[in-house]
Amino acid sequence: MDSFDPTPADRFSFGLWTVGNPGRDPFGLPVRAVQDPTRIVAKLAECGAHGVNLHDEDLVPFGSSAAERDRIVADFKKALSDHGMVVPMATTNLFTQPIFKDGAFTSNDPRVRAFALQKTMRSIDLGVELGAKVYVFWGGREGSEADACRNPMDAGKRMREAMDFLCGYVKDSGYDLRFALEAKPNEPRGDIYLATTGHMLHFISTLENEEMVGVNPEVAHETMAGLSFAHAVAQSMEAGKLFHIDLNGQRIGRYDQDLRFGSEDLKQALLLVRLLEGTAGNAPYTGPLHFDAHAYRTEDDAGVWDFARGCMRTYKILKAKAEAFDADPEVRDIIATRTDAGLDPLLSGGYASDKAAALKEASFDCDAIAAEGLRYERLDQLLVEHLMGVRS
Ligand code: GCO
Ligand code: MN
Ligand code: MN
């Protein structure tokens, strides 16, 4: 035990599909046994997690009878209460069943779109029954390979119709539930619609009930697109739209690796935790910290729990590093906010004609300003030294 061991107060959660991943991939069979969801709850609690998330089918196999569903849900609820675990988030599997081979909400076939709504409403009922406050939408198959199959504008319209309908369903049912949309650029489709968190943020602004809908950015997905994950998260936080987050590890240019959090690009991981925890001064993110990742296929059951503990410990270690970095006097000196008594009033508070006139008249010594070194080499080295543990 040390101070980096997770506790429920840390708000860490894992999907049933993450630690329950049996290690199947497109080229190989499963390498681990399928675990009962109640065992996953017990093991996660033992590791110090606070919550467990699920797709409808992770808990209730597709095609189960109503009686089977009720028995499975009752056993699961008992496991949750026995181990003091909660379900912060739920979601629908709209990608595994063959009927969704060409998407769900964006399918050209009204029968598929209707079935997707039916499955999602039932899954929302299940999530709410288990106490979920956030409902994630990841459009796994909402995309194309033969892109001429549908006008991508129609895909956007159908996605909007589905979200508007489902927001209406949640309101009509009196549920206390918010939606979080998760972007991914590709995989399993050649291209997935609404490919990045930025696309999602704009799409949300077009919805009837936009206040109910935020984002669930994932490290791997933004990184697959070659983009800065911290920037996507910052834009979401600044817009009040970071409702949930999927933490994991990923290298640019690879398939969706969903690796242990912090196992790749530790510097980006540190910058992300710094942002989420607000150690540089911004308001922190206070929602669930969900690890959407799985253990290497080389692992047995013990390795799965090493993986889970690793995700959580790395987050806590990075939080301590971020606090130390932002408390470091040399760092603070380099990034101290520059003030200018004459110019600051002109730059804040919006447009005014007198400010415009003053700015048009102001004189600037462009050469002198451009000649100032900003000391970012030193800043980045300090960050690297904090990360490597030679400075604290
Ligand atoms: C992925 C996705 C999924 C979703 C999950 C919840 O790795 O491709 O992130 O894991 O997050 O299905 O909708
Ligand atoms: Mn995810
Ligand atoms: Mn992923």
pLDDT tens per residue across span 346-373: 999 999 999 999 999 999 999 999 999 9
Is 1 inside a domain boundary? no
Q: Of the candidates 327, 354, 370, which is a domain's last residue? A: 327
Assigned token pair, 268: 């980006």
Q: Roughly how many angstroms between the first and final C-alpha of the chain, as a whole number?
A: 21
In this prediction, residues 304-332 reach a mean pLDDT of: 98
What does the alpha-carbon distance between residue 265 and residue 384 come to, in Å, rounded to a whole number?
12
Ligand 1 pocket: which of 105, 135, 138, 261 to mutate (most atoms within 8 A of CB): 138
Is 261 inside a domain boundary? yes
Could you tell me if 287 and 349 lie in one domain? no
Ligand 1 pocket: which of 182, 192, 197, 256 to mutate (most atoms within 8 A of CB): 182
Quick one: pLDDT at residue 311?
A: 98
Is the shortest distance between the CB of 58 and ligand 1 below 6 Å? no
- Residue whose Cα lies nearest atom 5 of ligand 1: it is 138
Is residue 58 part of the annotated active site? The answer reads yes
Q: How confident is the model at residue 392 (pLDDT cuts 50, 70, 90)?
A: confident
Could you tell me if 32 and 131 lie in one domain? yes
Domain that holds residue 340: 329-387
pLDDT in tens, 256-299: 999 999 999 999 999 999 999 999 999 999 999 999 999 999 99
pLDDT in tens, 204-226: 999 999 999 999 999 999 999 99
Q: What's the CA-to-centroid distance between 292 and ligand 1, angstroms? A: 7
Tokens 């709504």: give the residue.
117
Could you tell me if 354 and 318 lie in one domain? no
Could you tell me if 166 and 251 lie in one domain? yes
Assigned token pair, 339: 């003030």
Is the shortest distance between the CB of 218 and ligand 1 below 6 Å? yes
Could you tell me if 353 and 213 lie in one domain? no
Q: Is the pLDDT reported for residue 137 higher than 90?
A: yes
In this prediction, residues 361-387 reach a mean pLDDT of: 98
What does the alpha-carbon distance between residue 92 and residue 266 come to, in Å, rounded to a whole number?
31
Q: Read off the amino acid at residue 193.
A: Y
pTM assigned to the model: 0.97
Could you tell me if 276 and 370 lie in one domain? no
Is the shortest distance between the CB of 142 and ligand 1 below 6 Å? no
What does the alpha-carbon distance between residue 329 and residue 382 come to, in Å, rounded to a whole number?
11
For the CA of 217, the nearest ligand: 2
What does the alpha-carbon distance between residue 83 and residue 176 come to, in Å, rounded to a whole number?
24
Is the shortest distance between the CB of 277 and ligand 1 below 6 Å? no
CA 166 and chain centroid, separation: 21
For the CA of 15, the nearest ligand: 1
Atom of ligand 1 at shortest range from CA of 137: 13
Is 61 inside a domain boundary? yes
Catalytic residue selected from 58, 102, 256, 258: 58
What does the alpha-carbon distance between residue 150 and residue 154 come to, in Å, rounded to a whole number?
7
- Residue whose Cα lies nearest atom 6 of ligand 1: it is 138
In this prediction, residues 134-157 reach a mean pLDDT of: 98
Quick one: pLDDT at residue 1?
A: 82
Quick one: pLDDT at residue 259?
A: 98
In this prediction, residues 93-122 reach a mean pLDDT of: 98
What does the alpha-carbon distance between residue 172 and residue 166 come to, in Å, rounded to a whole number?
10
8 Å CB contact between 228 and 200: no
What is the total count of domains within the chain?
A: 2
Which helix (H) or strand (E) element contains residue 237? helix 229-238
In this prediction, residues 164-169 reach a mean pLDDT of: 99
Quick one: pLDDT at residue 354?
A: 98
Q: What's the CA-to-centroid distance between 281 and ligand 2, angstroms? A: 28
Q: Is the pLDDT reported for residue 306 higher than 90?
A: yes
Could you tell me if 276 and 358 lie in one domain? no
Is residue 125 part of the annotated active site? The answer reads no
Could you tell me if 51 and 98 lie in one domain? yes
Tokens 């508007």: give the residue.
164
Could you tell me if 312 and 339 lie in one domain? no
Is the shortest distance between the CB of 256 and ligand 1 below 6 Å? yes
Could you tell me if 227 and 352 lie in one domain? no
In this prediction, residues 165-187 reach a mean pLDDT of: 98
Q: String of b and e for 319-348 (b: at least 16 CB within 10 Å)?
A: bbbbbebbebeebeeeeeeeeeeeeeeeee
Q: How confident is the model at residue 8 (pLDDT cuts 50, 70, 90)?
A: very high
Q: Of the candidates 295, 327, 359, which is a domain's last residue? A: 327
Is 360 inside a domain boundary? yes
Q: Read off the amino acid at residue 195.
A: A
Torsion of CA 75, 80, 83, 89, to 10 degrees: 150
Assigned token pair, 354: 């007198």
Residues, Cβ < 5 Å to ion ligand 2: 218, 246, 292
Could you tell me if 374 and 291 lie in one domain? no
What does the alpha-carbon distance between residue 332 and residue 326 come to, in Å, rounded to a whole number?
7
What does the alpha-carbon distance between residue 74 and residue 148 come to, in Å, rounded to a whole number?
46
Q: What's the CA-to-centroid distance between 218 and ligand 2, angstroms? A: 5
Could you tell me if 56 and 144 lie in one domain? yes
DSSP codes joined into one string, 65-126: -HHHHHHHHHHHHHHHHHHT-B--EEE---SSSGGGTT-STT-S-HHHHHHHHHHHHHHHHH
Q: What is the largest CA-CA distance in the chain?
A: 78
Q: Is 83 exposed, middle or buried (0-12, 13-18, 19+ CB in 10 A)?
A: middle
SS3 breakdown of the chain: % helix, strand, coil, rounded to 5? 50, 10, 40
Cross-strand pairs, 191: 144
Q: Which of 389, 387, 183 shows the shortest CA–CA distance to 265?
A: 387
